[in-house]
Amino acid sequence: MSDKVQLRSADSPPVVLEVSRAALVVGSRVFADLLSLPAPDKTADAVLDLHETEKDIKPFLQLLEGDDQGTATLLTTDTQIAAWETLARLVDKFDSPVGRLALRGKIYERLYRNQSPTLAFLLATVVNDRNLLFDTGLKIIHLPDLDKVVKVRNDWHQKLAAQLDIGPI
């Protein structure tokens, strides 16, 4: 069994990414389950086909491998809201406790340093953490630029209501 796993992206042509088996198993319950299945050829590298492009999956893999610098470089500005949301979605999709902790830390950091409470709220709607959503919702509700939230994510009020179990807003 190899220490590496090959992940084939959904790009055309596919991009093959070599990732540490240990990072995948420790960082994601989904990958841990997939890689625990018996393989027909135990000497060959495991190859998994992904539905994500290289651009989307790379920050997630960097996060799992502990490359905070690489992830931080990609996700440094508020103009990359889509990249942040994609990362949060992949953390949820691949059931990554490590990723959830890292995202929560980044969200709270942005929230309490007042760097971008709007982005923190948008990410909290993806992470599906009730307390985080509540904290970020309270912070942005009084912002003068609340209309930016509506423009960026027009379903924010449904997300908030669903997470807080308060019915339609």
pLDDT tens across 13-67, in order? 999 999 999 999 999 999 999 998 887 766 667 889 999 999 999 989 988 888 7
Per the omega criterion (within 30 degrees of 0), is the bond before 97 cis? Answer: no
CA distance 123 to 126: 5
Strand 46-49 relative to strand 16-20, pairing: unpaired
Check if the beta carbon of residue 9 is closer than 8 Å to that of residue 52: yes
The number of CA neighbours under 13 Å toward the Cβ of 78 is 14
What are the tokens at 80?
Answer: 């990359």
Question: Which pLDDT score is estimated for 165?
Answer: 62
The CA-atom distances, in angstroms, between 151 and each of 31, 85, 91, 156, 157 are 35, 15, 25, 10, 12
CA distance 31 to 26: 9
Q: Which amino acid is at 145?
A: D
pTM: predicted TM-score of the whole model, two decimal places: 0.74
What SS3 class is residue 7?
A: strand
CATH level 2 (architecture), domain 1-67 = 2-Layer Sandwich (3.30)
Tens digits of residue pLDDT in 77-121: 544 677 888 888 899 899 999 888 888 888 888 777 777 777 787
